[in-house]
């Protein structure tokens, strides 16, 4: 089985304590360092095992001309001034950023596969198993895992490299996803990926 890792929304506005988005990690959440460490181990381990890492980000043009205002989430993003192209907030968190040559995909909808080139990037790896991790569990991770499952991929959600600002939503999302994907921890994911 050939694998790839989708590392989603590890961006300053989403993950950094000074970021503007709070759907993934609350500003004062003591779980932040654990999440960063887990995601860092996952990304480093995938690289060491030769598993391609595809970095998925959300970003909008200045003025949000390409941001739909049909849902509360996107209206709040625009109101907060978050994840605008060219801003610090839209950049990847330093410790979890792609290396030169690694795939980066930008999306503008809830589903990271929608009109983003993500499906093509995954196909280019030849993977049939996708490890999915990111922020927030109940938004981009769940949308991405569901879509990947519908595309026929064998999906594993790496639970401790995901988070939401509200723990009960993280748990509920993982419970829902357990019907579509294997829900595992970083250490198990790395063991599956091999040396």
**Which pTM was predicted?**
0.96
- Is residue 106 pLDDT above 70, yes or no? yes
The answer to whether residues 91 and 84 touch, using CB atoms and an 8 Å cutoff, is no
DSSP state of 50: T
Can the peptide bond before residue 136 be classed as cis, meaning omega within 30 degrees of 0?
yes
Smallest CA-to-CA distance from 128 within 152, 157, 108, 95 is with 152
- Is residue 33 pLDDT above 70, yes or no? yes
* Mean pLDDT, residues 123-149 taken together: 97
Smallest CA-to-CA distance from 188 within 55, 42, 52, 47 is with 42
* Mean pLDDT, residues 45-52 taken together: 98
Residues 188, 106: Cα–Cα separation, whole Å:
28
3-state helix, strand, coil in the chain (%, to 5): 45, 20, 40
- Is residue 62 pLDDT above 90, yes or no? yes
Residues 125, 107: Cα–Cα separation, whole Å:
19
Other Cβ atoms within 10 Å of 144 Cβ, number: 26
- Is residue 92 pLDDT above 90, yes or no? yes
* CATH class of the domain whose range is 3-193: alpha beta
Residues 114, 116: Cα–Cα separation, whole Å:
5
Give Cβ neighbours of residue 48 (< 8 Å, ≥ 6 apart).
Answer: 195
What are the C-alpha distances in Å from 92 to residues 12, 62, 76, 87, 193? 6, 18, 20, 11, 24
Domain boundaries, the chain: 3-193
């Amino acid at each position: 089985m050939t694998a790839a890792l989708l590392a989603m929304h590890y961006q300053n506005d989403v993950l950094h304590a000074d970021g503007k988005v709070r759907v993934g990690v609350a500003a004062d959440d003591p779980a932040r360092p654990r999440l960063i460490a887990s995601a860092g181990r996952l990304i480093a381990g995938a690289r060491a095992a030769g598993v391609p890492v595809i970095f998925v980000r959300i970003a909008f043009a200045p003025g949000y001309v390409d941001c739909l205002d049909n849902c509360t989430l996107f209206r709040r993003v625009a109101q907060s001034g978050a994840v605008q192209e060219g801003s610090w907030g839209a950049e990847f968190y330093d410790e979890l950023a792609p290396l030169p040559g690694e795939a980066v995909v930008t999306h503008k909808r809830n589903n990271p596969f929608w009109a983003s080139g993500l499906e093509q990037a995954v196909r280019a790896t030849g993977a049939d198993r996708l490890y999915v991790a990111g922020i927030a569990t109940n938004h981009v991770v769940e949308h991405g895992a569901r879509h990947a499952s519908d595309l026929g991929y064998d999906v594993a959600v790496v639970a401790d490299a995901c988070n939401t600002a509200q723990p009960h939503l993280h748990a509920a999302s993982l419970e829902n996803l357990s019907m579509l994907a294997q829900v595992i921890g970083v250490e198990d994911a790395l063991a599956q990926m091999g040396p």
